[in-house]
């Protein structure tokens, strides 16, 4: 079965991470499938809302680390950037249902969702520094803005997980429910939205986002350039090597 499942019903497109044996980590092929699904959802008048969901035990372990090494994103047309631009510019409502770990892009993609529901086992983390990398998905702009600078600095510099209640407190999460209920709750909310006039949903989202889109896309480009360069540098090589060899990284000389 495919690693990304897409299903549309009653105006709601649901995109499901389906790679449980690798903790729903995301390969270039999965980004490409999600970018295509999001583009299709944008173009299809029958789709009014998109929901991202994982499993009750894990949302996503972020980018597939082996894939990072074998086919790092090099151009703006790389699947990961296509996916990120797709969600950052998506006009209709985006909802995420998050249970268990949401690592790296598993967390940063949530800045581009309009509603986020979390299981009480959700653990959000942006461990870019610990991987010798830098933030992506405009999280270096959107996390300080949403959390406040010091809380964002803690999340982005320390890279440690923060949990559902803290995520709700900083405004990343709308509501916390039991993990077995999070996907169902998100679906129910999506169906409520899908029954509303799409023209009003789109206008309201556009008005709330204001003229922000250009700044977000610009920050993504800026981050993307640093990220691409840092992927090839010694700190990231050491971090990824350590992950593959199941040992602690040694940054003492970097
Ligand atoms: N890329 C590739 N493989 C990954 C992965 C990733 N991001 N995350 C997990 N996996 C794989 C593991 O290598 C392991 O594979 P194996 O069974 O062939 O050895 C399998 O998924 C299970 O992972 P494991 O670490 O044993 O699960 P866990 O429940 O103990 O921990 C996580 C879950 C998500 C906390 C942990 O896997 C993790 O921290 N992953 C890395 C996250 C990361 O740094 N992502 C990059 C962000 S930019």
DSSP 110: G
Average pLDDT estimate for 215-236: 96
Contacts with 106 (C-beta within 8 Å, 6 or more apart), sequence order: 24, 54, 59, 60, 61, 62, 98, 124
Q: Are strands 12-17 and 4-9 parallel, antiparallel or unpaired?
A: antiparallel
Quote the percentage of the chain above a pLDDT of 90.
96
Residue identifier of the C-alpha nearest atom 8 of ligand 1: 61
Token pair belonging to 44: 């299809």
What digits encode the pLDDT tens for the residues 161-219?
A: 999 999 999 999 999 999 999 999 999 999 999 999 999 999 999 999 988 999 999 99
Residue nearest to atom 27 of ligand 1 (CA): 23
Q: Name all residues whose Cβ lies below 6 A of ligand 1.
A: 22-23, 25, 61-66, 101, 103-104, 127, 131
Q: How far apart are CA 142 and CA 172, in angstroms?
A: 10
> Tens digit of pLDDT for each residue in 4-60?
999 999 999 999 999 999 999 999 999 999 999 999 999 999 999 999 999 999 999
Pair of tokens at residue 162: 């923060």
Mean pLDDT computed over 134-139: 98
Ligand 1, residues 20, 22, 23, 124: which to mutate, most atoms within 8 A of Cβ?
23
Backbone angles phi, psi at 247, to 5 degrees: -135, 170
**Residue 28 CA: distances (Å) to CA of 18, 35, 125, 155, 177:** 14, 10, 21, 26, 31
**From ligand 1's centre to the CA of 28, what distance in Å?**
16
- Structure token digits, residue 110: 């949530």
CA of 42 to the centre of ligand 1 (A): 32
- Band the pLDDT of 1: cuts 50, 70, 90: confident
In the prediction, which pLDDT does 179 show? 98
pTM for this predicted structure: 0.98
End-to-end CA distance of the chain: 42
Residue 11 is encoded by which pair of tokens?
């105006």
Burial tier of 6 (Cβ tally within 10 Å: 0-12, 13-18, 19+)? middle
CA dist 124 and 155 (Å) reads 9
pLDDT confidence bin for 75, thresholds 50/70/90: confident
Average pLDDT in the chain: 97
Decide if 13 contacts 52 (C-beta within 8 A): no
Q: Which domains does the chain have, with CATH numbers?
A: 1-175+206-254 (3.90.226.10)
């Amino acid at each position: 079965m495919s690693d990304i499942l897409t299903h549309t019903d009653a105006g709601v497109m649901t995109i499901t991470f389906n790679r449980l044996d690798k903790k729903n980590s995301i390969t270039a092929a999965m980004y490409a499938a999600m970018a295509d699904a999001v583009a299709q959802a944008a173009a299809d008048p029958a789709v009014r809302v998109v929901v991202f969901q994982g499993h009750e035990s894990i949302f996503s372990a972020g980018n597939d680390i082996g894939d990072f090494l074998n086919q790092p994103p090099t151009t703006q047309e790389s699947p990961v950037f296509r996916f990120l631009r797709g969600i950052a510019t998506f006009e209709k409502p985006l909802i995420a249902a998050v249970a268990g770990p949401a690592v790296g892009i598993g967390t940063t993609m949530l800045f581009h969702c309009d509603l986020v529901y979390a299981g009480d086992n959700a653990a959000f983390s942006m461990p870019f520094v610990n991987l010798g990398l830098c933030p992506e998905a405009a999280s270096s702009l959107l996390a300080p803005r949403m959390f406040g600078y010091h809380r964002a600095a803690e999340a982005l510099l320390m890279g440690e997980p923060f949990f559902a209640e803290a995520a709700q407190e900083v405004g990343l999460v709308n509501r916390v429910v039991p993990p077995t209920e999070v996907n169902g709750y998100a679906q129910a909310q999506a169906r409520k939205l899908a029954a509303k006039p799409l023209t009003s949903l789109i206008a309201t989202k556009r008005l709330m986002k204001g003229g922000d889109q250009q700044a977000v896309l610009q920050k993504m480009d800026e981050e993307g350039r640093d990220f691409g360069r840092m992927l090839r540098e010694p700190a990231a090589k050491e971090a990824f090597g350590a992950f593959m060899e199941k040992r602690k990284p040694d940054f003492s000389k970097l």
